[in-house]
Copies of this chain bind each other. A is one copy, B any other.
Amino acid sequence: MSALQARPEEPGVAAVRVPLGGRAYDILVGRGLLDGAGPRIAALGARAAAIVSDETVAAVYAPRLAAGIEASGLRTALVTVAPGEASKSYETLARVCDAILDARIERGDLVVALGGGIVGDLAGFAAAIVRRGVRLVQVPTTLLAQVDSSVGGKTGVNTRHGKNLVGAFHQPSLVLADTAALDTLPLREMRAGYAEVVKYGLISDERFFEWCEANWRRIFAGGPERDHAVAESCRAKAAVVVRDEREDGERALLNLGHTFAHALERVTGYDAARLVHGEAVAIGMCLAFRFSVRLGLCPGQDAGRLRSHIASVGLPTSLAEIPGGCGPADGLVEAMAQDKKVKDGALTFILARGIGQSFIARGVAAPQVRAFLTEEIAG
């Protein structure tokens, strides 16, 4: 473990500490953490835990997780939602809150989010607002959730204006990332999560990117490289979150590729059959690097190196690869302008001077973006 915040733990478990003062917490990464979750969750001190999951994940993991927690002396209740982005809605949020209250969860008790990013965002938001805040344990079961959404405290639901426009910052009290859960993850979801792993290298750590280039097959296959990639990603994200918890500044770096990605998800109607978030991020990161090249900020060979790695793992790298296309450049720019990261009407992008050298570029002029995208669409 090269993680800066690594702490001694038992063999095979990496611990990343997120030092947020009174809200500090541990991210534990390792194989088999789900089955050993009971004592770790019980150590937080609570009488009851409401496990929130989606029906698919719950069928596989909820009985094991609940049994472990109950064996450690806590009462549990299971709350399930339908799988899929549609569950990140006001209506499902209300239903989950009511179900948590049905389970007689008090201020000192816990909500356990078991599943991918959708469940984590939804259950995390419910935990933030039930009784004005109960503690949250994240048990992410996808690579995307393990390296991104379960870390950092962002929770929320979607509205007709866009994704995650209503939510809360609510840090978990514990994150248990069981990397064995990824053994059965569909390849497409594994790749989608991997885009976020690569992102951390692109932002500030060229050596990690280089390590990914050399080791990505082993990350996909499982084994110590997977654990290292997850722990290293969590460490990278945690370091940024600690310096800027509420995204007033530097945390925006984590949006590398995301201004493009959110626009692509929007114009493809959030249709997972066409494009999932991680795929949109993969394309978005390639676009961010090529846009940086076009602006004379970044060497062309860095954009090429990124494209080559992204393509090698089987992720899309260009707009042409989106099934059904992405429509005209105007539509994409319009979609970006509605993104919540727009400040005072100007576009903000994360651009790069090279791999590992990303920076926040505020006030990027829309016509420049439009011209770039027009060329990209033309191929």
Copies of this chain, tallied across the complex: 2
* Interface mask (A241-265 → B, CB under 8 Å = 1, otherwise 0): 0000010000000000000000000
Interface size class, chain A: 20 to 34
Instruction: Specify which chain B residues have a CB less than 8 angstroms from the CB of A159 in the assembled complex.
Output: 94, 97-98, 101
Do B340 and A160 have beta carbons less than 8 Å apart?
Answer: no
Bound state CA distance, A106 and B338, in angstroms?
A: 10
Bound state CA distance, A106 and B348, in angstroms?
A: 14
**Smallest distance from the beta carbon of A335 to chain B beta carbons, Å?**
15
Instruction: Specify which chain B residues have a CB less than 8 angstroms from the CB of A132 in the assembled complex.
Output: 154, 156, 164, 166-169, 246
Bound state CA distance, A342 and B90, in angstroms?
A: 28
A contact patch SS: mixed
A165 partner, pick from B108, B131, B343, beta carbons under 8 A: B131
Q: What are 14 A-B interface contacts by the 8 Å CB criterion?
A: A90-B90, A90-B94, A90-B97, A94-B159, A97-B166, A98-B159, A98-B161, A101-B159, A106-B344, A129-B167, A130-B166, A131-B165, A132-B154, A132-B156
Is A294's CB within 8 Å of the partner chain B? no
**Smallest distance from the beta carbon of A268 to chain B beta carbons, Å?**
21
Which B residue sits closest to A98, measured CB to CB? B159
Is A274's CB within 8 Å of the partner chain B? no
Do A340 and B161 have beta carbons less than 8 Å apart?
Answer: no
Which B residue sits closest to A101, measured CB to CB? B161
Is A40's CB within 8 Å of the partner chain B? no
**Smallest distance from the beta carbon of A144 to chain B beta carbons, Å?**
20
Bound state CA distance, A162 and B279, in angstroms?
A: 43
Bound state CA distance, A159 and B132, in angstroms?
A: 13
What are the 8 A-B residue pairs with the smallest beta carbon separation, nearest first? A90-B94, A101-B161, A132-B167, A129-B166, A97-B166, A131-B340, A132-B169, A132-B168
* Interface mask (A65-97 → B, CB under 8 Å = 1, otherwise 0): 000000000000000000000000010011001
**Smallest distance from the beta carbon of A362 to chain B beta carbons, Å?**
13
Given contacts A101-B159, A101-B161, A161-B98, contact A133 B344 (CB under 8 A): no
Given contacts A90-B90, A159-B98, contact A165 B107 (CB under 8 A): no
Instruction: Specify which chain B residues have a CB less than 8 angstroms from the CB of A228 in the assembled complex.
Output: none
Is A47's CB within 8 Å of the partner chain B? yes
Do B168 and A133 have beta carbons less than 8 Å apart?
Answer: yes
Is A147's CB within 8 Å of the partner chain B? no
Given contacts A98-B159, A98-B161, A133-B246, contact A344 B47 (CB under 8 A): yes
**Smallest distance from the beta carbon of A117 to chain B beta carbons, Å?**
16
Do B168 and A128 have beta carbons less than 8 Å apart?
Answer: yes
